[in-house]
Amino acid sequence: MDFLPLYFDLKNASTLVVGSGDAAARKIELLLRAGANVKLCASDPIKPIQLIIDSGSINLVATAFDNALLDDVVLVVAASGDSETDDAIAAEATARNLPVNVVNKAESSSFIFPSIVDRSPIIASVSSSGSLPVLTRLLRSRLESAIPSSFGRLAEVASRYKDQVREKFPDINQRRRFWENHLEGLFAEKIFSGQEQESLTILENSIKSDVFKPGGEVYLVGAGPGDPDLLTFKALRLMRQADIVLYDRLVSQPILDLVRADAERVDVGKERANHTLPQQQINELLVTLAKQGKRVLRLKGGDPFIFGRGGEEIDRLSDEGVPFQVVPGITAASGCSSYAGIPLTHRDFSQSVRFITGHLKDDTCNLPWSDYVQENQTLVFYMGLVGLSIICEQLIAHGMPADMPIALVSKGTTKDQKVVTGTLTTMPNLVETEKVKAPTLIIIGEVVSLRNKLKWLD
């Protein structure tokens, strides 16, 4: 181990930074965030540093380094950018047993600044011991995605009850199970979603109760159109803590692979005319599992509130008093159009967008076609592949130009994405010759003509 990770309490401690550029500015910011008193030695500081000086947050004590500047400090940062000057500062600081960091020069430093994920009072840090800062930033970004922004608040609230929990559960294993359940359960989720008073009630009731019984909840999560990189941070967090997962066929395998390894998985299917479980049974299963105390992840392709029947599911949960959360996902229209290089709006071509389901609850395609034939508008049909010929035929019959551009995006945002473009007249034949497979999104409008220029993924 090249460096031992330590956390210094620098509140009101006197520190010295030597330097006037970007590197010095970054270190000054970190020291101020830690509550340190910062003295600065700099000539011609850059504007961000000068603004901090003008605000009175730091003291500009000299324009050139002198050993006397080290007389009353507890930590030193050498960021002058001049190798000889920085080495001289490091040598003098080392002789005085002062911790010193020479920016971008680990071999001359007695300590280095790690890459920090700040969820105060929770702080996580990552370091490559100065060998590869790019890798450090990559690891930090992964931690950022895994640690909710309100994790610090969770720590603050939970810490208030440490003594009560220790008194209630004198055995350390009991305490561990208690905290694991609540810090990954409904108590934590209420904190993360801003419902702090409810979180306090949950924890206090659990401490008072003679029987420790975990509470169930349903997470209605949008998985996006297929690319796992399009998941939200919150979606990923809930996926990794659910006890059981109910997923649709539109959820890609790479996304399912991100679910907690020991979570039970239930395929509820849901493709046109072939439902592994009818919607009503899915609704009841969500209620049953949550009432058993399980954290239930209802994972849906796209966004749960855009043709995903999410409203029907939480309506039932609400009737039964089951706690739930809804996490929006990138809907297929947004994801597939972006990956196909087709902007849904454009000042020259389209000022509005309509999302339309290609088949209705009764499996018909009886739609208000006249409303869809408007200038400067983009139409996006979900689940319309089976009825494609009817869609093209009806739009032409109601006045849309027969040469209106149309695109089919099959398996959008995945490695198997396929895009076919044509016109309302030619597309019904193209879909046969190109062997387009579901799931497929249909985009109709002048914006489709921009694809040849903007198809970045191809």
Q: What is the full DSSP assignment across 302-357?
A: B-TTSSS-HHHHHHHHHHTT--EEEE----HHHHHHHHHT--S-BTTTBSEEEEEE
Dump pLDDT digits (tens) for 296-312: 999 999 999 999 899 99
Mean pLDDT of 93-99: 96
Q: How confident is the model at residue 209 (pLDDT cuts 50, 70, 90)?
A: confident
Residue 399 is assigned to a ligand binding site:
no
Q: How far apart are CA 276 and CA 193, in angstroms?
A: 32
In which band, very low, low, confident or very high, does the pLDDT at 213 lie, cut at 50, 70 and 90? low
Task: Please give the Cα distance from 83 to 94 (Å, whole number).
Answer: 16
Q: How confident is the model at residue 180 (pLDDT cuts 50, 70, 90)?
A: confident
Instruction: State the residue for tokens 């920090």.
Output: 116
44 is in an annotated binding site: yes
d(CA 307, CA 346): 24
- DSSP letters, 55-91, are HTSEEEEESS--GGGGTT-SEEEE--S-HHHHHHHHH
Q: Single out the residue of 232, 243, 251 nearest to residue 299, CA to CA.
A: 251
227 is in an annotated binding site: no
Question: Looking at residue 400, what is its pLDDT?
Answer: 97
Q: Is 270 a catalytic residue?
A: yes
End-to-end CA distance of the chain: give it in Å, rounded: 45
- Establish whether 36 is an annotated binding residue: no
User: Which of 167-171, 195-199, 359-363, 400-404 reaches the highest mean pLDDT?
Assistant: 400-404
CB proximity list for 61: less than 8 A, separation 6 or greater: 39, 40, 41, 69
331 is in an annotated binding site: yes
- Phi and psi at residue 41, to the nearest 5°: -115, 110
In a 10 Å sphere around its CB, with 0-12 CB exposed, 13-18 middle and 19+ buried, how is residue 162 labelled? exposed
Q: pLDDT grade, residue 388 (50/70/90)?
A: very high
Q: How many helices (H) and strands (E) does the chain have?
A: 18, 17
Q: 23 labelled as ligand-binding?
A: yes
Average pLDDT, the chain: 91
pLDDT at residue 312, rounded to an integer: 95
301 annotated to a ligand binding site: yes
Distance between CA atoms of 48 and 61, rounded to whole angstroms?
17
Question: What six digits make up the tokens of 233?
Answer: 């941070």
For 305-340, b/e burial (b = at least 16 CB within 10 A) is bbbbbbeebbebbeeeebbbbbbbbbbbbbbbbbbb
Residue 404 annotated as part of some ligand binding site:
no
Output the pLDDT for position 212: 63
Q: How far is CA 281 from the centre of its chain?
A: 31
Q: Spot the catalytic one: 27, 39, 270, 300.
A: 270
- Burial grade of 433 (CB within 10 A; 0-12, 13-18, 19 or more): exposed
pLDDT > 90 in the chain, percent: 72
Tell me, yes or no, if 54 is annotated catalytic: no
Q: How confident is the model at residue 419 (pLDDT cuts 50, 70, 90)?
A: very high
Is 293 annotated among the ligand-binding residues? no
The tens digit of pLDDT for each residue in 248-299 reads 988 999 999 999 888 999 999 755 555 568 899 999 999 999 999 888 999 9
Write the DSSP string, 393-409: HHHHHTT--TT-EEEEE
Catalytic residue among 39, 234, 248, 300: 248
Higher pLDDT, residue 440 or 184: 440
pLDDT value at position 417? 95
Question: Which pLDDT value is given to residue 88?
Answer: 96
Query: Helix 279-291 vs helix 310-319: angle between axes, to the nearest 10 degrees?
Result: 40
Q: Annotation-wise, does 412 bind a ligand? A: yes
SS3 at position 286: helix
Instruction: Give the bridge partners for 244, in sequence order.
Output: 264, 296
With 80 as the cut, is the pLDDT of residue 455 above it?
Answer: yes
